[in-house]
């Protein structure tokens, strides 16, 4: 919420869509393997339409509420393209917001073949140095959303 608040000021023209977090009392939430302890969130990538306008991610019942939307190796599909600069700003603001609450990001899953374009944005070098992208590839293609795990210290 803090990150989206900052983005509302910094990038008011971008339409953001958050995905699934977890169940109220936690526990298994198929088909997710994680999302059980309240520290995981899926955030849909910001997208541009064919005219380059920021538009809401097309989450509908007939595309798995967005989870079945696919992008090619450049981050394009027939109707949309990934807004890499916007995604970079989202990751930066998530990091800042988490740190301000004495937390942090412990994992950010975003498809490896798309990260190169993300690293070409204004935040690219910072993202490469600070965002904990894994060195493994999830069998589920993470092109339509990023999966984020936060660090929370337990007493």
Segment interacting with Zn ion, rule: CB under 5 A, options 80-88, 95-103, 116-124, 141-149: 141-149
Sole window of 41-49, 63-71, 110-118, 128-136 interacting with Zn ion (rule: CB under 5 A): 41-49
Residues 6 or more apart in contact with residue 11 via CB below 8 angstroms: 86, 89
Q: Which is nearer to Zn ion, 126 or 150 (CB)?
A: 150
Note whether 142 binds Zn ion by CB under 5 A: no
Binding of residue 147 to Zn ion (CB under 5 A): yes
**Residue among 95 and 147 whose Cβ is closer to Zn ion:** 147
**Of 34-42, 51-59, 62-70, 71-79, which segment contacts Zn ion by CB under 5 A?**
34-42
Q: Are 108 and 146 in contact (CB under 8 A)?
A: yes
Residue 42 interacts with Zn ion (CB under 5 A)? yes
Length in residues, the chain: 155
89 is a site residue for Zn ion (CB under 5 A): no
In the complex with Zn ion, which residue's Cβ is closer, 40 or 48? 40
What one-character-per-residue DSSP string does 117-152 give? HHHTSTTHHHHHHHS---SS--SS--SSEEEEEEE-
Contact 97, 55 (CB under 8 A): no
Angstrom distance (rounded) from CA 91 to CA 69: 21
Q: Which is nearer to Zn ion, 39 or 48 (CB)?
A: 39
CB 46 within 8 A of CB 24: no
Chain positions contacting Zn ion, by CB under 5 A:
42, 147
């Amino acid at each position: 919420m803090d990150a989206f608040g900052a983005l509302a000021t910094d990038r008011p023209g971008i339409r953001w869509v958050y995905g699934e977090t977890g169940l109220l009392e936690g526990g298994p939430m198929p088909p997710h393997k994680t999302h059980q302890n309240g520290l995981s969130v899926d955030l849909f990538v910001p997208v541009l339409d064919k005219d380059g306008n920021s538009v809401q991610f097309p989450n509908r019942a007939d595309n798995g509420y967005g989870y079945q939307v696919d992008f090619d190796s450049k981050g394009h599909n027939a109707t949309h393209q990934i807004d890499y600069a916007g995604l970079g700003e989202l990751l930066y603001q998530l990091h800042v917001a988490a740190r301000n609450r004495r937390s942090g990001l412990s994992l950010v899953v975003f498809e490896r073949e798309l990260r190169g374009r993300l690293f070409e944005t204004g935040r690219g070098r910072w993202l490469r140095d600070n965002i904990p992208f894994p060195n493994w590839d999830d069998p589920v293609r993470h092109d339509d959303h990023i999966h984020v795990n936060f660090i929370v210290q337990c007493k």
